[in-house]
Amino acid sequence: MWKSTFYSLFALAVLTALVAAAETRPNILLIVGDDMGYADVGFHGCKDIPTPHLDKLASVGTRFTNGYVTGPYCSPTRAGLLTGRYQQRFGHEFNPGGGKQGMPTSEKTIADHLKAGGYKTALIGKWHLGSEPEFHPQQRGFDEFFGFLGGAHDYFNDKGIVRGNTPVDEKEYLTDAFAREAEEFIGKQKESPFFLYLAFNAVHTPMQADDARLKKFAHIEDKQRRTYAAMMSAMDDAIGRVLAKLKATGADKNTLVMFISDNGGPTMPGVTVNGSLNTPLRGSKRTTLDGGIRVPFVIHWPGKIESGVFEHPVIQLDLHATVLAATGAKVPANFEPDGVDLYPHVSGANKKPPHDALHWRFGPQMAIRMGDYKLVRYDTTADLDPSKPKTISPAKLYNLKDDIGEAKDLAASMPDKVKELQAKWDTWNSKLAPPAWGGNPAAKGQGKKKGNKQQE
């Protein structure tokens, strides 16, 4: 009898411990904006577009002042984010153009890892990682999917919006619809921890806003900037609704919230300009200048990652690594991540910078940042000088601590630093795969062509 009682109590204790462990694993809310300007949030000094909900998140969380993504285009940075690896390692260097082009199925996603660990997983919003059945989000670790598969979408026309694989008759303004779906998903989660990837298409073109928000910004004379402001405001409203839902359900106390843009604002020739601003950064989406790759970057995890500013360079790959560490997710033995768990660095347990260097390759464009120094070759279309041919610049060296706008080239005066950074980039580059598709027509002087989806 006593043995039976002992084993029963032991089993109950183990079960209780497992339940407690499951309950302490954080929920994950990963929010991504699309083609946002670096200057277009209040916590970066924006004055003409109120972003109170993002500002509040930045005030209670940690704001990473040197936060980067691994490329200046939408799809590649999303591939890096979800796999935790530089996308150039598996050929996803450019936007897919359809057909069999998509994030390789050999790559496991963060949703795969978390789902295997008992998480409920959902993607709401933009996918842009392949449209064939094998690339579908529900084949890549997501239990639920509501959104669209391509790189851009009309905000009022529901053609192409699906729930799973079923077309949806959607009547709401798309940004508001994504907020609604996110609220509903959060409200359904009662037992298992969840991972919600909320990937807005705001503020990507087409430039479309609802009348009420356009009226709110009637004082902005420039029509494009006015529409952009209304779209940014809609996304901020949507984020506020989702964060409020977390609080209403009590999930906010145990949810790791992360926010980034997928790349810099498209402000210069070669891409569809949306009215964004990257001040004080130089450059635009599709360039390896900081205006193309440096983004708003915020993390909040109650009791863990709270109010503060972190100045060492970080990259979106680190979000993947931070989530895996926070959730205790098991990964395959052959998984080789490129990101770093940021928690020890933010908490002060690890005083060293998270990275010795960060790297970029986008066709003939390149960059490497080590400490304050950045070596870069970029598409000279970014110089906005129509008399110049659209070619790639020679290697230029900048000290970003002293020169955030990448205006003073130090290459001639610091040749040894140029050689050091070039050698380090060459070593990294030697381990990459060739692009599986695409190129960079803008860098070759072709500009954006009608129907060229790769340039979206």
Tell whether 341 and 362 lie within a shared domain: no
Residue 353 lies in a domain: no
Cα–Cα distance, 217 to 148 (Å, whole number): 28
Tell whether 325 and 297 lie within a shared domain: yes
Q: The CATH number of the domain where 425 resides is what?
A: 3.30.1120.10
Q: Which of 347, 370, 387 is the last residue of a domain?
A: 347
Tell whether 388 and 448 lie within a shared domain: yes
Cα–Cα distance, 203 to 148 (Å, whole number): 15
Q: The CATH number of the domain where 134 resides is what?
A: 3.40.720.10
> Which residues 6+ apart lie within 8 Å of 419 measured at CB?
none
Q: How many distinct structural domains can be found in the chain?
A: 2
Tell whether 399 and 292 lie within a shared domain: no
Look up the domain containing 430 and give its range: 358-455
Single-letter code of the amino acid located at 326: A
Tell whether 257 and 372 lie within a shared domain: no
Q: Which of 327, 347, 367 is the last residue of a domain?
A: 347
Residue 411 lies in a domain: yes
Tokens 């940042």 found at: 369
Residue 19 lies in a domain: no
pLDDT for position 380: 85
Residue 16 lies in a domain: no
pLDDT for position 384: 61
Tell whether 178 and 314 lie within a shared domain: yes
Residue 401 lies in a domain: yes
Q: Which of 347, 366, 386 is the last residue of a domain?
A: 347
Tell whether 35 and 100 lie within a shared domain: yes
CB 71 within 8 A of CB 93: yes
Tell whether 313 and 188 lie within a shared domain: yes
Tell whether 80 and 46 lie within a shared domain: yes
Residues taking part in catalysis: 74, 128
CB 276 within 8 A of CB 50: no
Residue 1 lies in a domain: no
**How many CA within 13 A on the CB side of residue 76?**
33
Rg of the chain, C-alpha, whole Å: 22
> Which residues 6+ apart lie within 8 Å of 383 measured at CB?
none
Task: Tell me how crowded residue 279 is: count the other CB atoms within 10 A of its CB.
Answer: 17
Q: Write down the pTM of the prediction.
A: 0.91
pLDDT for position 136: 98
Tell whether 334 and 413 lie within a shared domain: no
Residue 12 lies in a domain: no
pLDDT for position 453: 40
Tell whether 327 and 447 lie within a shared domain: no
3-state SS of the chain? CHHHHHHHHHHHHHHHHHHHHHHHCCEEEEEEECCCCCCCCHHHCCCCCCCHHHHHHHHHCEEECCEECCCCCHHHHHHHHHHCCCHHHHCCCCCCCCCCCCCCCCCCCHHHHHHHCCCEEEEEEECCCCCCHHHCHHHCCCCEEEEECCCCCCCCCCCCCEECCEECCCCCCHHHHHHHHHHHHHHHCCCCCEEEEEECCCCCCCCCCCHHHHHHCCCCCCHHHHHHHHHHHHHHHHHHHHHHHHHHHCHHHHEEEEEEECCCCCCCCCCCCCCCCCCCCCCCCCCCCHHHHECCEEEEECCCECCEEECCCEECHHHHHHHHHHHCCCCCCCCCCCCCCCHHHHHCCCCCCCCCCEEEEECCEEEEEECCEEEEECEHHHHCCCCCCCCECCCEEEECCCCCCCCCCCCCCCHHHHHHHHHHHHHHHCCCCCCCCCCCHHHHCCCCCCCCHHHC
CB 268 within 8 A of CB 384: yes
CB 313 within 8 A of CB 66: yes
pLDDT in tens, the chain (456 residues): 555 554 554 444 444 444 444 458 999 999 999 999 999 999 999 999 999 999 999 999 999 999 999 999 999 999 999 999 999 999 999 999 989 999 999 999 999 999 999 999 999 999 999 999 999 999 999 999 999 999 999 999 999 999 999 999 999 999 999 999 999 999 999 889 999 999 999 999 999 999 999 999 999 999 999 999 999 999 999 999 999 999 999 999 999 999 999 999 999 877 899 999 999 999 999 999 999 999 999 999 999 999 999 999 999 999 999 999 999 999 999 999 999 999 999 999 999 999 999 999 999 999 999 999 999 999 987 666 655 666 899 999 999 999 999 999 999 999 999 999 999 999 999 999 999 998 744 333 323 333 334 445
Cα–Cα distance, 343 to 136 (Å, whole number): 31
b/e code 388-397 from CB counts within 10 Å (16+ = b)? eebebbebbb
Residue 352 lies in a domain: no
Tell whether 205 and 244 lie within a shared domain: yes
